[in-house]
Structure 1
Amino acid sequence: MLLLSKSIAQLLIPPASLILLGLIGIYFWQKRWGKKLTLACLILLWLFSTAPVRNILTSSLEYQYPAYSFNQILPNNTAIVLLGNGVQEQAPDYQYQDTLSRFGMMRTIYAAQIAKHTGLAIYATGGTPLNEHAASESSVMKYWLITLGIDATHIYEENQANTTWENATFTTALLKKKNINSVILVTSAWHMPRAVWCFEQQGLTVIPAPTDYLTDQATYDIRSFLPRWDRLGDSGDALHEYLGLFWYKLKYD
């Protein structure tokens, strides 16, 4: 079921959706609407690959919450919750051991920084989505947290969650055992709105700690309006979040 839902989501988001619609347009090329559909798909593919459009999509997600302030006063009974983002399986540069994805590594580094500053425990949450033979996200994050200088006794694992909703529900069950009702939530900035919503639905007080922003702060030049593969990926991540938040509110609200 998880594989099916992720496959459907992948097909609904560019570039897959635009490729499929473009192929439909080509098949019906003799009709006026077929030509228009193909042209529209090409234009959208170009636009989603540019910096201005990518920034519009990502900034509305990433700036819903301010950056975490290291000087703020925290409520009692607070812990850090670190959300996983997949693992790179059998990484050659790490002796073919599973390691963190780019987003997962950036989240882990930031969580370690906050933990060193606050002295709070970290709850690393993430299972083995779509590959039960891989190391769990939580175990790989724990390894890197220890490598980054965090005491192993201050790290707790939740290794069953395969979705953001499960991250929230399963981790909350662990937190309640320790009477923790406030969390510093560490995840990628573009993922923060959906993550905050899920954890607030569990009755927790959430202090967002977004990291690894996608929105480009540089001044635009001619290259900003030329298509790039990485910008298309960023636009896809943003569209995935909009779709995911819509689906979660429809399903769980």
Structure 2
Amino acid sequence: MFFLLSKIFWYLVQPLVVVLILAGMGFLALLMRRRRLGLWLSGTALLLLAVMSLSPLGLLMMSPLEERVPRAPLPERVDGIVVLGGALDTRITATRGVPELNDAADRMTAAVALSRQYPDARVLFSGGSAEILFEDISEAVAGRLLLDSLGLPADRLLLEDQSRNTWENAVFSRALAQPQEGEVWLLVTSAYHMPRAIGCFRVAGFDVVPFPVDYQTPSGPAVWRPSTASIRNVEKVHFAIREYIGLLAYWMTGRTDALFPRA
């Protein structure tokens, strides 16, 4: 139930959906001769779209998420590497038969690089299907295709294909990995997602060393300089809002150990 409600809620509060709803309500108000209300709603929608598209709002929202869990020096020995799904487009993979990476590709490339740096470590890829309206393959299927093509030996790969969100990533990964006392496991996911992920893994009882990747924001004064591609600015607002909502919801339901977890 939590999964379904979270999907529906997020669909309705996505930034661009909110803008469209406000604009639609403004248009209806104008048709009903509520001129002042219609202009206010339409103007608010236009203002929100302009701020998200042209300002550094997304960078400023995402930067605290990415800075929360810094990348620590790597340990000398690593027994396992957990890489969370989210970097593969399963619809393209299913229809074209080739694994296709998205903007979070660093999760996969970092996992392969780490597997070569630690040749004795197991690699656990965690990703099911989060689709609720259409049939889709699990991300683990696409992950296997990609990791096989990059030369990762099959006997080192563990595939967790049931998880639909970060909490299930943590619970099902622990059940599959069965980490033993004294083992060192790395957790690979996007930097902005790492606070929620590390909080979930702690509650699930899986002690991991965070290895954030896929940084979306620059450091220093450059964080105030928005992209010249306006859609990139909107995307950052989109993902930052989703992550903050996720942090609040997970904390309220006991899925993380803090509202804003840190390492």
Please confirm whether the aligned pair reaches a TM-score higher than 0.5, indicating the same fold.
yes
Q: Matched residues in 2 for 1:240 and 1:228: separation? A: 19
Unpaired stretches in structure 2, ≥5 consecutive residues: 256-263
Q: Matched residues in 1 for 2:228 and 2:27: separation? A: 24
* Residue of structure 2 aligned with 1:142, choices 144, 151, 161: 144
Helix, strand or coil for the counterpart of 1:160?
coil
Q: Which residue matches 1:12?
A: 13
What amino acid is aligned across from residue 52 of structure 1 in structure 2? P
* Structure 1 residue 20 displacement after superposition: 0.9
Contact 2:170/2:206 (CA < 8 Å) preserved in 1?
no
- 1:1-253 matches, within 5 Å, as 2=3, 5-28=6-29, 30=34, 32=36, 34-50=38-54, 52-70=56-74, 72-74=75-77, 78-85=79-86, 86-91=88-93, 96-103=96-103, 105-119=105-119, 120-130=121-131, 133-176=135-178, 182-216=184-218, 224=226, 228-253=230-255
Cα pair distance change 1:197/1:111, threshold 3 Å: same
* Structure 1 residue 182 displacement after superposition: 4.3
What per-residue deviation string (whole Å, max 9, x for no partner) do you get for residues 38-86 of structure 1? 323322221122351111011111111113534x345x7x421111115
Q: Matched residues in 2 for 1:178 and 1:145: separation? A: 25
What amino acid is aligned across from residue 20 of structure 1 in structure 2? I
Q: Matched residues in 2 for 1:182 and 1:106: separation? A: 21
User: Alignment identity in percent?
Assistant: 29
Cα RMSD, aligned residues only: 3.1
Q: Matched residues in 2 for 1:180 and 1:135: separation? A: 35
Contact 1:88/1:101 (CA < 8 Å) preserved in 2?
no
Helix, strand or coil for the counterpart of 1:116?
helix
Contact 2:59/2:226 (CA < 8 Å) preserved in 1?
no
Contact 1:109/1:145 (CA < 8 Å) preserved in 2?
no
* Structure 1 residue 27 displacement after superposition: 3.3
Q: Matched residues in 2 for 1:175 and 1:225: separation? A: 40
The number of residues matched between the two structures is 248
Q: Structure 1 or 2: larger strand share?
A: 1
Q: Matched residues in 1 for 2:239 and 2:167: separation? A: 17
Q: Which residue matches 2:261?
A: none
Unpaired stretches in structure 1, ≥5 consecutive residues: none
Cα pair distance change 1:114/1:246, threshold 3 Å: same
Cα pair distance change 1:42/1:184, threshold 3 Å: same
What per-residue deviation string (whole Å, max 9, x for no partner) do you get for residues 11-60 of structure 1? 11201012212322443453645533432332222112235111101111
Helix, strand or coil for the counterpart of 2:91?
strand
Farther off after superposition, 114-123 or 81-90: 81-90
Cα pair distance change 1:84/1:97, threshold 3 Å: same
Contact 1:79/1:180 (CA < 8 Å) preserved in 2?
no
